[in-house]
Structure 1
Amino acid sequence: MTHLDREAAIRARAHQIWEDSGRAEGQAELHWNAAERELNDAAALAQAHVTLAAVSKKALAKKGKANNARKSKAA
């Protein structure tokens, strides 16, 4: 995500937070920070899922190799 895309996403979410809060004035920085936090949390969660998937795939491949080795010895 480019800097401009990230900023646009934060702006859109901050606007939604502002609307959800009854369009309260004078809290733009609070809304912006909340939106930025949400975006950061979502990115961290997505990265954790990618990492977990990679680790799981690696573990399954290792288990598959071990099973194949045992089958070869048994034959």
Structure 2
Amino acid sequence: MKIALVQLSMSKDINANLKKSLEYCDKARDSYLLFFPEIQLSPFFPQYEKQNVDRYCLKIESDELVLVYQ
């Protein structure tokens, strides 16, 4: 079984992060499992105290998620 792990730097642009994630999916197409950081579409915001991160809260019907699950 081939497993792939991705560690990537995330930008503040969710769509750019999604594009980068999908590129890694293509690179790992011969893997059985591909693991990403738990919040791969947004910057790691818990490290920024008192910052409003509402724009990173995605709903299940968000375009970024719909693209992935189709």
Quick check: TM above 0.5?
no
Which has the larger share of strand? Answer: 2
Higher relative contact order (CA 8 A, sep 6+): 2
Structure (1 or 2) with the larger CA radius of gyration: 1
Which has the larger share of helix? Answer: 1
TM-score normalised over the length of structure 2: 0.29
